[in-house]
Every structure is written in structure tokens, then in C-alpha cells.
Amino acid sequence: MRIKAWVSLTRASIMEFLQFRLSAFVMFIGNIIYLIVIYNLWKAIFASVDNGIVNGMSFNDTMIYLVLASAQFTFMEAYLVWEMGRSIQSGRIVLELLKPISIEQYKLFGIEGGNIAAFVVTFIPTFIIVQIITKGAIPMGINILYYLIAATLGMLINFSIDFLIGTVCLYTESTWGINIMKQVVVLFLSGAVVPLAFFPSKLRAIAMFLPFQAIYNTPLTFLTTGDLSMFNSLKMLGTQAIWVVVLFALAKLFWRLSERVITVNGG
């Protein structure tokens, strides 16, 4: 029964995404422009060092890492905080609470279909272009499978954090500010702005303890390093899985506690 509801929510969100094909195309163009800027910028930056490798990262690694981080952002970011804030302010949240399925499941399956569709339409083409530009620098092997698992887990972590922060909107009546704060902290500490490999060691140690790196750094590491041992790979995926469980439980608990403060003016 549950599964049927999940499947139809997923299907609905894929259809919704496909309604806005032009928007997906512009997202893809946005990725390409970002790629051009990042390519030129880091080419110029790497021109200032002699051997071409800094902290174990070559120019190609940095390119793959940053461009695919941004491409990953475009398919993962569903603006859930934004949407939850708006439905709390407009009172539409009441209708969502009446659904015969828990709100976090309703939200999760309502976005994940769009994420999958965006992955196919924007991420895969960007991936191919990066592979061509770097002349096949992304290793293609078992690590691609690991990447897919890690990206799925990353998406779930991202969802849980979004849901947690979206719940804060019940208390603050602020959406824009909360959303931008979340976005900045997540992107920076996950290594999507500057790769974690370039961080000073102390800051990197802190970042590795936080869940954010599991959203971008873990999946992307599978794409830049092909020769990770089985043990290391499973350890990274295991860490992600723990974060998924912890954060999802936390988000669920926080929502249960906060549900009763919902006030809707008229409607």
C-alpha cells in the first residue's frame, strides 16, 4: 500500500519536472557557463604553481570536483526550505497534514522524482562534457556504482537537513534568510565552493566530523579517485548511511515536537 503511494508521488514529481523542460535546459546552460568560468579560473590559478599538483589535487581533479559539485547541486537542491516556508505562511501546510501519509514521506517522494529526472537531464550531459574536456580523467569502473549509491545517500542527507531547517520556519516566519544561511553553510562545509583537500588541516578535520561533507565530498571523491580500496569505500558509504539514519530521525522528531505550534490565519 505504502509503496503504491510512493511510486505515484515519484511519478507525479517526474511529470511536474518534465512540464518545465525549458527550465531544465536553462539549468543545463547554467552548468555549462559555470564550467567555463571554473575552467578558466582554475587554469589561471594552477598556472602559478610549478608541478601542477597541490594537496594531491591536479587541475583536472579540481575541475571534475567543482563542476560536478555544482551539477550535483542543481539536481539535488529542491528548494524544500523555501517551499515549506511558503506553505507554512500561506496555510497550505494544513492540506499537506491531512494527507494519508506522513509529511516527511510526502515531501521526500514529492521531490525525489524531480531529482531523478534532473539527474538524467542535467547531470549526465554535464558529466559527459567534463569527461571530454579532461580527456577521460574520470575513472570509469566500480567507482561509478559507488558514486550512484553515495549520491543517493547524499540526497537523503540533504533532504533531512532541509526538512529540519524547513521546520525552523514554523518558529521564525523567515524563509529567505533561513534558506540562504542553510545553503551557504552546507555548500561551504561540504566542499562545493573550495574542495576540502585545500582546507587548512584543522578546518578540514572539523568539516569531516560534520554531516555536510557526506553530501558532496563523499560522492565526488569516488569520481576523482578511482583506486580507493574496498574497505575505504564501504567505510565512506557506511558513514553516510549513519548520517542518513541520525538526521532523518532527528528531522522527524523535531517536526513531531513542532507540529503543534502551527498557526494558520483563516484559510
- At residue 235, φ and ψ (nearest 5 deg) are -65, -45
Size of interface with another protein, in residues (CB under 8 A): 42
Residue from the set 199, 212, 243, 255 that interacts with another protein by CB under 8 A? 199
Q: Which is nearer to another protein, 30 or 226 (CB)?
A: 30
- Could you tell me if 167 and 248 are in contact, meaning their C-beta atoms sit under 8 angstroms apart? no
Binding of residue 43 to another protein (CB under 8 A): yes
When binding is defined by CB under 8 A, the residue of 188, 207, 226, 258 that contacts another protein is 188
Contacts of 210 (CB under 8 A, 6+ apart): 189
Minimum Å distance from CB 267 to another protein?
19
Binding to another protein, residues 11-30 (CB under 8 A): 20, 22-23, 26-27, 29-30
123: nearest Cα among 195, 86, 59, 71 = 71
- What do you get for the CA distance between the two ends of the chain, in Å? 31
Q: How far is the CB of 226 from another protein (least distance, A)?
A: 23
From residue 207 to residue 246, the character string flagging contacts with another protein as x (rule: CB under 8 A) and all else as - is ----------------------------------------
For the bound state, the minimum distance from the C-beta of residue 188 to another protein, rounded and expressed in Å, comes to 4
Residue 34 found at the interface with another protein (CB under 8 A):
yes
Min dist CB 97 to another protein, Å, is: 24
Q: Where are the alpha helices (DSSP H) in the chain?
A: 2-19, 21-46, 59-76, 80-90, 93-97, 103-118, 124-133, 142-172, 176-189, 201-209, 213-224, 230-258
Give 108 or 178: the residue with its C-beta nearer to another protein.
178
Please identify which residue in the block is written with the cell numbers 599538483. Answer: 53
Closer residue to another protein, CB minimum distance, 184 or 262: 184
Burial class of residue 233 (count of CB atoms within 10 Å of its CB; 0-12, 13-18, 19+): buried
Q: How far is the CB of 16 from another protein (least distance, A)?
A: 12
178 binds another protein (CB under 8 A): yes
Kindly state whether residue 37 participates in binding another protein, applying the rule CB under 8 A: yes
User: Interaction with another protein in 48-67: which residues (CB under 8 A)?
Assistant: 48-49, 54-55
What's the CA gap between 256 and 60, in Å, rounded? 46
Q: For residue 53, list its beta bridge partners.
A: 58
